[in-house]
C-alpha cells in the first residue's frame, strides 16, 4: 500500500487518501474541473498556479503524459486530487505515467478520495482554501494551517508565472503561417499564456513576440506591432494593476484581443468591474452563445473571476453569454478595435468550436 | 426557432418485434418521443406491431395502430391518419427502412407527407455504404479503403485492390447481418454471395479490414440551427471485428488523449454535417489504430440507436426525447436539461463515474450455433452498471448478468473449464473472441501471462487488462485468509474494486451472509451517488442513483411511503420486454396512488430505467447484496417481486428474511407452484387433472419413472425459465442423453418427468386475484399444439375453438388454484385440452410474458390492476370504479380477434434447426388484430416477418403421422393456384388424394435436391413437420436452407392451417386499419352481451 495523504478544506472537511507524485505538502485554492480528458493540459496550464485541482472524472492518467501536450514548460497546479491515478500509461503517445510526471515536477497528488463529495462541497460553499499533505496527517492541524494561508481574492499571481524575458514565439511553436496571406506582428502579454494559443495565433498568420506581464504599454506602442494579445493567467484580475494599465494605454492605439484573464483586464480597462465567482467554471462542456449569430458553442473554461456585464457602459457590446448561468463570456468595443472572451477558444483541453476567433483577431488587424 | 407551427399531425413508426440487434431500447425511445410530442400539443399517431411495448399502450398516442411494419400496411395507416409528417428516426432500422421505402416509392410525396428528423437524402447518404464513403471522402474525413460490389466478381475485383483480409458488409442491414471477414478469394466468394442475397439492397461494401484496432462510438445531436453536441463517447473494450452490440463497452472513453478525442469529435461533427442529418441524434463509429493513432470512420446511423439508449442511461441525457423536440423545430438551447432543471440541453454531459455494458448471449439455446463473436451481432440483451471506477462498474456488471459462474466473475469455474480445453494455451484462446473473453483475460493473468502479451493476443487495450490485473492482485491478497483477519481498510478496498460479497466469501472461505454481516459490522456499506449530467457542477433534481463505496450518500429523505419494484434485469430469451412492461405499469400505478415508486433494474434498454418512469431510480444489479442495500436505505413499506419475471422471485425469501415485506403472493406459494412435485400433489388435492409426474436423480430413476408414467414424456430440469433444456422423449433409447442435459442445466435439483400430452390444444391464462376474487384477463388458445413452448407458439384471443363450457371450466380451475395458492396479484396458468379433459401444465404466481398482449387485446390494464391489488385494493372495488369490466368473461366477447405470433432468431444462427419445441427460442412477439380472424392471423404472420406468398410454389414434406391431415390444406393451396412440390412419401399421399404434385429429391438422395431449389429461390413456402431431430436428417437440411434463404417455413400442422387462412386473407383487398383505441371502444360496447 502506498503512503497515506490528507486533504483539508478551510471549512474543516477532510479527505483521507493515498499519496501519489511528490511527497510533502502544498496549499492553495481548491477548485474542481469537469473535463473528462486533458489532464496533462490542465496540469500545465499556468492559470492554475496557486490552485489544488480536483478532477471530477474518476480515472486520471490512463494515457500517461507526453512531450507534445503540455501547455507550458512544467506542471503548474499546486496540487492534484483524483479518485484514481492510473498506474499504467496506455497510449502510443505516452512517455511516462501521471505519477512520474508529478514527482518530476515536485507536485503533491492525492488519490482514492471521494472526489464527488469534494466537488459538492466546493459547489455548495464556494472555492475554498485547501491543503494537501503527506506529512501532516492530523486533520485538526492541517485545517488550522489551511486557514492561515491567504485567499485568491486580491492575489496578483501573473507576475509569478510570466516569462522573465521577451522572446519570439516561433522558437516554441514554429513560424507564422503564410497560408492566409499577410503575416501580422503581434505582441502577446504573457500573464500565464498557454502554448496552444501561440500555436493558433501562429497558424492564423501571426508573428508573435511574447512579453513579460509587466511590460509598459509604451514599449509595445513603439514596437511596430499590428496587434496586441492579452493572455490568460492566474489570480485576481483587479489585483493585476499593471495589466489593466497596459490595456488602457493600448486601447484605440492598436487592435487588442484578450482571452480569460486578458478579457477581464480588458473589461477593467473599459471601466468595468470584476467579481469573484462562487466556484468558477472549469471544464470542457460549457455552452456559450454568440449573441451576434445565435450559435451555441461548446467551450473550454478555466476561470474563477468574471466581468460584471452591468458595470460596462454603452461603449461595450456584450458578444457572448454562458447559457448555464448567464455569465458574461465575451465583449467587444464599439469605438475601438478590441475584443475579448472569457472562455478558451484555443481549447486544449476541450472542443474546438470557437477557434474561428483567432481569424476574427486577424480580420480586426487587417481592417485597422 | 421555436416549435414548428406548420405541422399538427405526426406519425411515429416503431421498431416492431424484439429481434437480435433491435430490442426494447426502441420502446424506450418511442415512448419518450410520443410523450413529449403529445405534451407539445401534436396529434400523434403511432404504428408498431409489438404489443409488449409501453408505447403501444392506448394512452401514449392519440391513435395507435398495431399493424405490421411493412410499407403497404403503414401506407394504409397514413391514408387514414393523414399525418403532416413522419418521424422515422426513432423506430430503429425497421422504422427507418419502412419510411425510406414509402418515400422512395413516391407515395409520401403524392400524399403530401414529409419526413422530419432526417431527409431521405440524408438517410441514403448514411445508410448506403457507398454513398457514405463518398460523402466522407468529399468532406475530407478518413475512412478505410473500400469498394462497392453488386456481383461476386465485382467483390473479388475490389478485394484484389484493397488487399486481404477484407470485411464484407451489406447496406441497410441491422446488427451486422450478412457481414463477415474473408482472408482469401475462396472465402470471399461464399461470403459475398450470401451477403448479396441477404441485404435488402443487394449491394455490399468490400473493405480493408481494420480488425484489432480500437473501436469507439460518439453520440451526436444536432439542431435545426446547426448547433451540434456530443452526448457521450463510448469505448469498446473489444477490438474492431466484434460487433459493438456484442462488445463490452465503457463510457466515457478511457484511453484517448484529449487531442485524439477532440480530433474524433471534430470528425463526428463534420460527419453529421456532411451527411446532412438536420436534427436529432446520430451514432458515429470510429476505429483507431493503437500503434499510431490513425482514426477512420466506420459508419454512422442517422437515427436513435441501441447505443443512444445506452448513452441516455449512461449520461442522464434523454436523447430520444430531445431528438423529438428538435425534429419539431426547437433548438438545443431552447430545451431545458431535465436533470438540473436550470441549464439548457445545449451542452455536453460530463460523467464522474464509469459505465460498463456487457452483452448477454443465449448460445446454450442454439447448440449448433458458432459462439465466436464476429461482426454479426448475436447477443439478445445487455446489462449496464455504474461505478465510480471501471473496476467497480465491471464487478457490478458481472453481478447484473445473473449467470452462475459469471457473476462471481473473476476466476469462476467456467473460465477454468475453458482453459482446460485450450491445449494451445490461454493466449491462443484469447485470439478468438468469445463470451468468456474477460474471464480468460483474468485467468491468463493468474497464470502469469503479462499484461502486454494478453493485450496483444486479445486486442483489448492494455489499460483494461491492467485494471483487471489490479482486481486479480487484490484477490490474491485476500485468498485463503480468514474473514476476521481482514481489516476494515482491506474490506473497503475489496468492495471498491467491485468484488461481491459472494466473491469475497469464496476467497476467504466464508458465506455471502457472513461477509455481509462482517462488512456491516465494520460500517462498510455502499453510498448512493447521483447521475446528474454535469459532474456535480449543478444540483440534480432527479433521483437517479447508483451505489459506490465512497464517503457521502446523496439519497434524499422521502416525503411519501415507498414501494420498491424489482425489475427483470437483462433481456434474455424467456424474460424480456414483457416483464419490463409490467414493472413500468406498476411504477405509474404506484405514483398515481400516492407512493414513491423505487425502481431497481440493470438493463439499459428498458423504459423502466428511464428516470421519468419511477420516483426514484436505482441502476443496480438485481443480486441479493445490491437489492438488500437499497432496501436498507429506502426502508420501503413493501417490495414488488412478482412483475419482473423469475429474477426478483428468487430474491423473495431473502428479502422476507431480512424483514422487508414482499407485497402480494407469499414466497412459500411461489415455491409451492414452482416445485413440480408439490404442485402435482396440490393439483391432486384440488382434483384438477395434471399430467402424471415423476422425478429422478439419475438415469435409473428416470427409466423407472418414465415407464411408470408412460411414453412419450417431457424431461426437464427444475427451476428454469423458458423451457431451458426441456425435451420430449418418445422412448427409452432417447432418455439417457436428455436426462444428462437436463441434469447439467440445473445440477442441484432433480430432473422432472411428465407425461407428454400429445396433440393437445394448449391454453394460457392470465388472471389477477385479490385473495378472494379472481379476475381472468383472458384465456388464450394456442395455434400450435402443446409441446411447442408457449413463448414460441402463436395464440388467439378470444379463444378460437373452445366452447363456453370449456372456458367456464378453465376459469374454475384458475380460481381454485389462485385461492389454494393464496395468490395476491398476477397468476399465469398453462393448460392443455386433450381427450375432452383440461389438464394443468403449470401455474406461475407472477406476471407472465402474455400480460401486455392480454392488456392490448382486451383494453384491461392487467399490470396496473395487479399493482392496485398489491396495495390492498379489491377486485370488487376495481370493478365498481370501472378499472375492470363488469362482465367477467369480457375477453370472450371481443368483436375482433387478436393473434400473437413469435419471432425467432434463426436467421442469425446459420445451421440451427428451426423446429419448434418445448425449449423457448423466440426473442420477441407481434400482434395482429382484425375483425376477421383470418386477417388477424395473416397480419401477425406478416408482422413476424414470415411473409406469406399470395401465389407461387409450396414445398411439402411431412412426418408420417401428419400425412393424412396434410391432404386438406394441400388441396386448398392447389385450388388457389399454388404449385406443389413434395418429397416422395408425401407426394405419393397427395397424388393418391388427387392433388397435382411434383416429387423432388431429398438432400440424402443427391443433387439437385430440395435444398438447392430453396437456395435458388424457386420455393416460396416450406411446410415441413419434423420426424426425428438432429443435424443430419433431411428435415434439418430443408429447414436450415429455408431459414438462410429467408423463406417462411412452417413446422406444425396447426401452423399450416393458420397460414392457409392467412394466405386467403392476403388474397382479398386489405381493410382500412383500425386503431387500438377504437377497438377498445368496441370491446366496451361488447360488454352488454353477457
Ligand atoms: N473495416 C473493418 N474492419 C474490421 N472490422 C470492421 C470493419 N468495419 C466494421 N467492422 C466491425 O463490424 C462491426 C459491424 O459493422 P458496422 O458497420 O458497425 O455495421 P452495423 O450496421 O451492423 O452496426 C463493427 O462494430 C466493427 O467491429
Ligand atoms: N405434459 C405436457 N404435455 C404436453 N406439452 C407440455 C407438457 N408440459 C409442458 N409442455 C409444453 O412445454 C412448454 C413449456 O413447459 P412449461 O411447463 O410451460 O415450462 P416453462 O416454465 O418454461 O414455461 C409448454 O408451453 C407446453 O407447450
Ligand atoms: Mg455499427
Ligand atoms: Mg410455460
- In tens, the pLDDT along A122-150 reads 999 999 999 999 999 999 999 999 999 99
Query: Chain A partners of B354 at a C-beta cutoff of 8 Å?
Result: 58-59
Q: Report strand pairing: B774-785 vs B761-769.
A: antiparallel
Percentage of the residues of chain B whose pLDDT score is greater than 90: 74
Distance B171 CA to ligand 1 centre (A): 12
Please report the residues numbered 667 through 726 in chain B whose beta carbons come closer than 8 angstroms to any beta carbon of chain A. none
Ligand closest in space to the Cα of B919: 2
Residue contact B351–A63, C-beta within 8 A: no
Q: How confident is the model at residue A245 (pLDDT cuts 50, 70, 90)?
A: very high
Chain A CB within 8 Å of residue B536 CB: yes
Task: Please tell me if the CB atom of residue B242 comes closer than 6 angstroms to any atom of ligand 1.
Answer: yes
Q: Is-cis flag, bond preceding B798, omega within 30? A: yes
Task: Please tell me if the CB atom of residue B717 comes closer than 6 angstroms to any atom of ligand 2.
Answer: no
By the 10 Å C-beta count (0-12 exposed, 13-18 middle, 19+ buried), B666 is classed as middle
Residue contact B258–A35, C-beta within 8 A: yes
Task: Please tell me if the CB atom of residue B570 comes closer than 6 angstroms to any atom of ligand 2.
Answer: no
Q: Which of B233, B259, B350 lies nearest to residue A56, judging by beta carbons? A: B350
Rounded-to-integer distance, Cα B678 and Cα B671, Å: 9
Rounded-to-integer distance, Cα A88 and Cα B755, Å: 61
Residue in B with minimal Cα distance to A37 = B258
Whose grid coordinates read 395464440? B795
Q: Which of A62, A283, A289 lies nearest to residue B463, judging by beta carbons? A: A62
Largest CA distance in chain A: 63
Whose grid coordinates read 427444475? B718
Rounded-to-integer distance, Cα B393 and Cα B412, Å: 18
Query: Chain A partners of B290 at a C-beta cutoff of 8 Å?
Result: 92
Task: Please tell me if the CB atom of residue B790 comes closer than 6 angstroms to any atom of ligand 2.
Answer: yes
> Mean pLDDT, to the nearest integer, of A188-212?
98
Question: Which residue of B458, B477, B536 to mutate against A (max A Cβ within 10 Å)?
Answer: B536
Residue contact A58–B350, C-beta within 8 A: no
Question: Mapping DSSP to helix (H, G, I), strand (E, B) and coil, where does residue B310 land?
Answer: helix
Q: Nearest Cα to B330, choosing from B312, B314, B345?
A: B345
Q: Which CA distances in Å does B338 have to B219, B345, B532, B559, B892?
A: 19, 8, 10, 21, 45
Residue contact B333–A289, C-beta within 8 A: yes
Contacts of B984 (CB under 8 A, 6+ apart): B999, B1002
Joined grid coordinates for residue B577: 420486454
Rounded-to-integer distance, Cα B540 and Cα B341, Å: 8
Angle at Cα B790 formed by Cα B784 and Cα B792, nearest 5°? 75
Q: Which CA distances in Å does A64 have to A55, A61, A108, B252, B589?
A: 15, 5, 17, 17, 51
pLDDT at B1090: 34
The alpha carbon of residue B536 and the mean position of all alpha carbons in its chain are separated, in whole angstroms, by 34
By the 10 Å C-beta count (0-12 exposed, 13-18 middle, 19+ buried), B947 is classed as middle
In B14-162 the beta strands, taken as DSSP E runs, fall at 43-47, 63-65, 85-87, 114-115, 146-149
Distance B696 CA to ligand 2 centre (A): 18
Rounded-to-integer distance, Cα B29 and Cα B33, Å: 6
Which one of B127, B142, B243 would you pick to mutate in the ligand 1 pocket, going by the greatest count of ligand atoms within 8 A of its CB? Answer: B243
What one-character-per-residue DSSP string does B809-845 give? HHHHHHHHHHHHTT--EEEEEEEEEETTEEEEEEEES
pLDDT at B746: 67
Residue in A with minimal Cα distance to B345 = A287
Rounded-to-integer distance, Cα B898 and Cα B935, Å: 10
Q: Nearest Cα to B71, choosing from B32, B42, B112, B102?
A: B102
pLDDT at B1064: 87
CA of B523 vs chain A CAs: smallest distance (Å): 17
Whose grid coordinates read 405534451? B39
Ligand closest in space to the Cα of B236: 1
Percentage of the residues of chain A whose pLDDT score is greater than 70: 100
Q: What is the pLDDT of residues B36-91, one digit of tens each?
A: 999 999 999 999 999 999 999 999 999 999 999 999 999 999 999 999 999 999 99
Task: Please tell me if the CB atom of residue B757 comes closer than 6 angstroms to any atom of ligand 2.
Answer: yes
Q: Nearest Cα to B608, choosing from B640, B650, B574?
A: B640
Residue in A with minimal Cα distance to B264 = A351
Distance B831 CA to ligand 4 centre (A): 9
Question: Mapping DSSP to helix (H, G, I), strand (E, B) and coil, where does residue B478 land?
Answer: helix
Query: Chain B partners of A285 at a C-beta cutoff of 8 Å?
Result: 347-350, 534
Indicate which atom in ligand 1 lies nearest the CA of residue B296.
Answer: 1
Q: What is the pLDDT of residues A85-123, one digit of tens each?
A: 999 999 999 999 999 999 999 999 999 999 999 999 999
Q: Which of A38, A58, A349 lies nearest to residue B353, judging by beta carbons? A: A58
Which one of B786, B795, B916 would you pick to mutate in the ligand 2 pocket, going by the greatest count of ligand atoms within 8 A of its CB? Answer: B786
Closest residue (by CA) to atom 11 of ligand 1? B241
Residue contact A119–B256, C-beta within 8 A: no
Task: Please tell me if the CB atom of residue B152 comes closer than 6 angstroms to any atom of ligand 1.
Answer: no
pLDDT at B414: 47
Query: Chain A partners of B526 at a C-beta cutoff of 8 Å?
Result: none
Residue in B with minimal Cα distance to A57 = B352
pLDDT at B1028: 53
Which one of B146, B206, B244 would you pick to mutate in the ligand 1 pocket, going by the greatest count of ligand atoms within 8 A of its CB? Answer: B244
Question: Mapping DSSP to helix (H, G, I), strand (E, B) and coil, where does residue B468 land?
Answer: helix
Query: Chain B partners of A304 at a C-beta cutoff of 8 Å?
Result: none
Residue A12: Cβ within 10 Å count: 12
Task: Please tell me if the CB atom of residue B285 comes closer than 6 angstroms to any atom of ligand 1.
Answer: yes
Task: Please tell me if the CB atom of residue B645 comes closer than 6 angstroms to any atom of ligand 2.
Answer: no
Under 8 Å between Cβ of B501 and B625: yes
Torsions phi, psi of B454, nearest 5?
-65, -45
Under 8 Å between Cβ of B996 and B980: yes
Residue contact A348–B258, C-beta within 8 A: yes
Under 8 Å between Cβ of B168 and B191: yes
Residues of chain B below pLDDT 70: 1, 174, 199, 405-424, 719-721, 745-747, 1027-1032, 1085-1090
pLDDT at B1038: 85
Task: Please tell me if the CB atom of residue B329 comes closer than 6 angstroms to any atom of ligand 1.
Answer: no
Angle at Cα B676 formed by Cα B669 and Cα B809, nearest 5°? 75
What one-character-per-residue DSSP string does B176-202 give? TTT-EEESSHHHHHHHHHHHHHHSTT-
Q: What is the ipTM of this complex?
A: 0.97
Residue in B with minimal Cα distance to A35 = B350
Q: Is-cis flag, bond preceding B1008, omega within 30? A: yes
Residue contact B550–A116, C-beta within 8 A: yes
Which one of B742, B790, B844 would you pick to mutate in the ligand 2 pocket, going by the greatest count of ligand atoms within 8 A of its CB? Answer: B790
Ligand closest in space to the Cα of B690: 2
Query: Chain B partners of A115 at a C-beta cutoff of 8 Å?
Result: 352
Q: Nearest Cα to B174, choosing from B95, B73, B276?
A: B95
Closest residue (by CA) to atom 12 of ligand 1? B375
Q: Is-cis flag, bond preceding B165, omega within 30? A: yes
Joined grid coordinates for residue B1039: 429447414
Q: Report strand pairing: B562-566 vs B998-999.
A: unpaired
Residue in A with minimal Cα distance to B349 = A285
Joined grid coordinates for residue B971: 388441396
H runs (alpha helix) in B553-617:
577-592
Sign of the four-CA dihedral B1, B7, B9, B15 = negative
Q: Active-site positions of A?
A: 260, 344, 346
The alpha carbon of residue B1082 and the mean position of all alpha carbons in its chain are separated, in whole angstroms, by 32
Contacts of B985 (CB under 8 A, 6+ apart): B957, B960, B963
Amino acid at each position: 500500500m502506498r503512503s497515506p495523504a490528507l486533504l483539508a478544506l478551510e471549512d474543516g472537511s477532510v479527505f483521507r487518501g493515498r499519496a501519489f507524485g511528490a511527497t510533502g505538502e502544498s496549499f492553495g485554492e481548491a477548485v474542481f474541473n469537469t473535463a473528462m480528458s486533458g489532464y496533462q493540459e490542465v496540469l500545465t496550464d499556468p492559470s492554475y498556479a496557486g490552485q489544488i485541482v480536483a478532477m471530477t472524472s474518476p480515472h486520471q492518467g490512463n494515457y500517461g503524459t507526453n512531450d507534445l501536450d503540455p501547455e507550458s514548460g512544467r506542471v503548474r497546479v499546486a496540487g492534484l486530487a483524483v479518485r484514481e491515478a492510473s498506474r499504467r500509461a496506455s497510449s502510443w503517445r505516452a512517455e511516462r505515467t501521471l505519477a512520474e510526471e508529478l514527482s518530476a515536477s515536485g507536485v503533491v497528488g492525492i488519490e482514492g478520495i471521494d472526489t464527488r463529495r469534494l466537488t459538492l462541497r466546493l459547489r455548495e460553499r464556494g472555492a475554498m482554501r485547501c491543503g494537501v499533505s503527506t506529512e501532516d496527517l492530523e486533520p485538526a492541524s492541517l485545517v488550522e494551517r489551511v486557514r492561515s494561508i491567504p485567499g485568491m481574492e486580491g492575489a496578483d499571481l501573473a507576475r509569478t508565472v510570466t516569462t522573465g524575458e521577451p522572446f519570439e514565439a516561433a522558437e516554441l511553436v514554429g513560424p507564422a503561417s503564410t497560408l492566409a496571406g499577410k503575416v501580422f506582428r503581434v505582441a502577446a502579454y504573457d500573464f500565464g499564456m498557454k502554448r496552444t494559443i501561440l500555436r493558433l495565433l501562429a497558424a492564423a498568420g501571426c508573428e508573435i513576440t511574447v512579453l513579460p506581464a509587466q511590460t509598459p504599454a509604451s514599449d509595445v506602442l513603439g514596437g511596430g506591432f499590428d496587434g496586441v494579445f492579452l493572455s490568460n493567467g492566474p489570480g485576481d484580475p483587479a489585483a493585476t494593476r499593471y495589466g489593466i494599465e497596459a490595456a488602457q494605454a493600448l486601447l484605440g492605439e492598436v487592435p487588442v484581443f484578450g482571452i480569460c484573464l486578458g478579457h477581464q483586464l480588458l473589461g477593467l480597462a473599459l471601466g468595468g468591474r470584476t467579481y469573484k465567482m462562487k466556484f468558477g467554471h472549469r471544464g470542457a462542456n460549457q455552452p456559450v452563445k454568440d449573441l451576434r449569430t445565435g450559435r451555441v458553442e461548446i467551450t473550454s473554461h478555466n476561470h474563477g473571476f468574471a466581468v460584471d456585464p452591468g458595470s460596462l457602459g454603452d461603449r461595450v457590446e456584450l458578444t457572448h453569454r454562458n447559457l448555464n448561468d448567464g455569465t458574461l463570456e465575451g465583449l467587444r468595443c464599439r469605438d475601438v478595435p478590441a475584443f475579448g472572451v472569457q472562455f478558451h477558444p484555443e481549447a486544449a483541453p476541450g472542443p474546438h468550436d470557437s477557434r474561428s476567433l483567432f481569424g476574427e483577431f486577424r480580420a480586426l488587424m487587417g481592417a485597422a | 426557432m421555436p416549435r414548428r407551427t406548420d405541422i399538427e399531425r405526426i406519425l411515429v413508426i416503431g421498431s416492431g418485434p424484439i429481434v437480435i440487434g433491435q430490442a426494447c431500447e426502441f420502446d424506450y425511445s418511442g415512448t419518450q418521443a410520443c410523450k413529449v410530442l403529445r405534451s407539445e400539443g401534436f396529434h400523434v399517431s403511432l404504428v408498431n406491431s409489438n404489443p409488449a411495448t409501453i408505447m403501444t399502450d392506448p394512452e401514449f398516442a392519440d391513435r395507435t395502430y398495431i399493424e405490421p411494419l411493412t410499407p403497404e400496411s403503414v401506407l394504409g395507416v397514413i391514408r387514414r391518419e393523414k399525418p403532416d409528417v413522419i418521424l422515422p428516426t426513432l423506430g430503429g432500422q425497421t422504422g427507418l427502412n419502412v419510411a425510406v421505402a414509402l418515400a422512395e416509392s413516391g407515395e409520401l410525396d403524392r400524399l403530401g407527407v414529409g419526413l422530419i428528423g432526417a431527409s431521405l437524402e440524408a438517410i441514403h447518404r448514411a445508410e448506403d455504404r457507398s454513398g457514405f464513403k463518398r460523402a466522407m471522402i468529399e468532406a475530407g474525413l478518413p475512412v478505410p479503403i473500400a469498394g462497392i460490389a453488386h456481383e461476386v466478381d465485382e467483390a473479388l475485383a475490389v478485394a484484389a485492390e484493397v488487399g486481404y483480409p477484407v470485411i464484407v458488409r451489406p447496406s441497410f442491414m441491422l446488427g451486422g447481418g450478412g457481414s463477415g471477414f474473408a482472408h482469401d478469394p475462396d472465402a470471399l466468394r461464399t461470403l459475398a454471395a450470401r451477403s448479396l442475397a441477404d441485404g435488402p439492397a443487394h449491394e455490399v461494401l468490400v473493405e480493408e479490414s481494420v480488425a484489432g484496432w480500437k473501436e469507439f462510438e460518439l453520440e451526436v445531436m444536432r439542431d435545426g440551427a446547426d448547433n451540434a453536441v456530443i452526448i457521450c463517447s463510448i469505448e469498446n473494450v473489444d477490438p474492431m471485428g466484434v460487433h459493438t452490440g456484442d462488445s463490452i463497452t465503457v463510457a466515457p472513453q478511457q484511453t484517448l488523449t484529449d487531442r485524439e478525442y477532440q480530433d474524433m469529435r471534430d470528425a463526428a461533427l463534420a460527419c453529421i454535417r456532411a451527411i446532412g442529418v438536420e436534427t436529432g441524434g446520430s451514432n458515429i463509429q470510429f476505429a483507431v489504430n493503437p500503434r499510431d493513432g490513425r482514426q477512420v470512420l466506420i459508419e454512422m446511423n442517422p437515427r436513435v440507436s441501441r447505443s443512444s439508449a445506452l448513452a441516455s442511461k449512461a449520461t442522464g441525457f434523454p436523447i430520444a426525447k430531445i431528438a423529438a423536440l428538435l425534429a419539431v423545430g426547437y433548438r438545443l438551447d431552447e430545451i431545458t436539461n431535465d436533470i438540473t432543471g436550470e441549464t439548457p440541453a445545449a451542452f455536453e454531459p460530463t460523467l464522474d463515474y464509469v459505465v460498463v455494458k456487457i452483452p448477454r448471449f443465449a448460445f446454450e439455446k442454439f447448440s449448433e450455433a458458432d459462439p465466436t463473436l464476429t461482426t454479426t451481432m448475436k447477443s439478445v440483451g445487455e446489462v449496464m452498471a455504474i461505478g465510480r471506477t471501471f473496476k467497480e462498474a465491471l464487478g457490478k456488471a458481472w453481478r447484473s448478468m445473473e449467470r452462475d459462474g459469471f457473476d462471481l466473475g473473476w476466476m469462476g469455474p467456467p473460465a477454468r473449464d475453458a482453459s482446460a480445453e485450450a491445449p494451445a494455451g490461454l493466449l491462443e484462446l484469447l485470439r478468438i473472441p468469445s463470451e468468456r473473453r474477460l474471464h480468460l483475460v483474468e485467468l491468463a493473468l493468474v497464470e502469469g501471462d503479462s499484461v502486454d502479451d494478453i493485450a496483444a493476443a486479445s486486442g483489448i487495450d492494455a489499460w483494461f487488462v491492467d485494471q483487471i490485473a489490479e482486481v486479480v492482485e487484490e484477490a490474491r491478497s485476500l485468498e485463503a485468509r480468514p474473514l476476521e483477519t481482514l481489516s476494515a481498510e482491506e474490506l473497503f478496498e475489496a468492495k471498491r474494486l467491485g468484488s461481491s460479497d459472494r466473491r469475497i466469501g469464496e476467497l476467504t472461505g466464508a458465506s455471502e451472509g457472513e461477509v455481509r454481516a462482517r462488512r456491516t459490522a465494520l460500517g462498510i456499506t455502499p453510498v448512493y451517488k447521483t447521475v446528474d449530467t454535469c459532474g456535480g457542477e449543478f444540483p440534480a433534481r432527479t433521483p437517479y442513483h447508483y451505489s459506490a463505496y465512497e464517503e457521502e450518500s446523496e439519497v434524499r429523505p422521502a416525503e411519501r411511503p415507498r414501494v420498491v419494484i424489482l425489475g427483470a434485469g437483462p433481456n434474455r430469451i424467456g424474460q424480456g420486454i414483457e416483464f419490463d412492461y409490467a414493472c413500468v405499469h406498476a411504477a405509474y400505478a404506484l405514483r398515481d396512488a400516492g407512493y414513491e415508486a423505487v425502481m431497481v433494474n440493470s438493463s439499459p434498454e428498458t423504459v423502466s430505467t428511464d428516470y421519468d418512469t419511477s420516483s426514484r431510480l436505482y441502476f443496480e444489479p438485481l443480486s441479493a447484496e445490491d437489492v438488500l442495500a437499497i432496501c436498507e436505505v429506502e426502508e420501503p413499506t413493501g417490495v414488488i417481486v412478482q412483475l419482473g419475471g423469475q429474477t426478483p422471485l428468487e430474491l423473495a425469501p431473502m428479502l422476507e428474511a431480512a424483514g422487508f415485506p414482499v407485497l402480494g403472493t407469499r414466497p412459500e406459494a411461489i415455491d409451492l407452484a414452482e416445485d413440480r412435485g408439490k404442485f402435482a400433489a396440490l393439483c391432486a388435492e384440488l382434483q384438477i387433472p395434471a399430467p402424471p409426474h415423476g422425478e429422478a436423480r439419475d438415469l435409473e430413476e428416470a427409466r423407472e419413472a418414465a415407464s411408470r408414467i408412460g411414453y412419450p414424456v417431457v424431461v426437464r430440469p427444475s427451476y428454469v425459465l423458458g423451457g431451458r433444456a426441456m425435451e420430449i422423449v418418445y422412448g427409452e433409447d432417447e432418455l439417457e442423453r436428455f436426462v444428462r442435459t437436463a441434469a447439467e442445466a440445473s445440477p442441484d435439483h432433480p430432473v422432472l418427468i411428465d407425461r407428454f400430452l400429445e396433440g393437445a390444444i394448449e391454453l394460457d391464462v392470465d388472471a389477477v386475484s385479490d385473495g378472494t376474487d379472481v379476475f381472468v384477463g383472458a384465456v388464450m388458445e394456442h395455434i400450435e399444439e402443446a409441446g411447442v413452448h408457449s413463448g414460441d407458439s402463436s395464440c388467439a384471443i378470444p379463444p378460437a375453438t373452445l366452447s363456453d363450457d370449456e372456458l367456464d371450466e378453465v376459469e374454475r380451475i384458475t380460481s381454485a388454484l389462485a385461492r389454494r395458492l393464496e395468490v395476491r396479484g398476477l397468476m399465469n396458468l398453462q393448460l392443455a385440452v386433450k381427450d375432452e379433459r383440461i389438464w394443468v401444465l403449470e401455474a406461475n404466481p407472477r406476471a407472465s410474458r402474455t400480460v401486455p398482449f392480454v392488456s392490448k387485446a382486451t383494453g384491461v390494464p392487467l399490470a396496473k390492476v395487479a399493482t392496485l391489488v398489491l396495495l390492498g385494493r379489491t377486485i370488487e372495488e376495481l370493478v365498481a370504479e370501472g378499472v375492470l369490466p363488469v362482465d367477467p368473461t369480457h375477453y370472450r366477447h371481443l368483436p375482433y380477434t387478436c393473434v400473437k405470433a413469435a419471432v425467432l432468431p434463426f436467421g442469425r444462427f446459420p445451421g440451427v434447426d428451426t423446429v419448434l419445441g418445448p425449449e423457448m427460442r423466440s426473442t420477441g412477439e407481434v400482434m395482429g388484430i382484425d375483425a376477421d380472424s383470418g386477417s388477424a392471423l395473416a397480419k401477425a404472420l406478416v408482422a413476424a416477418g414470415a411473409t406469406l406468398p399470395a401465389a407461387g410454389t409450396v414445398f411439402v414434406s411431412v412426418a408420417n403421422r401428419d400425412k393424412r391431415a396434410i391432404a386438406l390444406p394441400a388441396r386448398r393451396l392447389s385450388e388457389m393456384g399454388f404449385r406443389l412440390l413434395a418429397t416422395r412419401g408425401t407426394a405419393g399421399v397427395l397424388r393418391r388424394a388427387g392433388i397435382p404434385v411434383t416429387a423432388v429429391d431429398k438432400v440424402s438422395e443427391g443433387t439437385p435436391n430440395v435444398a438447392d431449389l430453396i437456395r435458388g429461390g424457386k420455393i416460396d413456402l416450406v411446410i415441413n413437420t419434423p420426424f426425428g431431430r438432429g443435424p443430419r436428417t433431411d428435415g434439418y437440411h430443408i429447414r436450415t436452407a429455408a431459414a438462410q434463404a429467408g423463406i417462411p417455413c412452417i413446422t406444425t400442422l396447426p401452423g399450416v392451417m393458420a397460414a392457409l387462412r392467412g394466405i386467403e386473407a392476403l388474397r382479398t383487398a386489405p381493410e382500412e386499419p383500425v386503431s387500438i383505441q377504437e377497438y377498445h371502444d368496441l370491446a366496451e360496447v361488447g360488454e352488454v352481451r353477457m
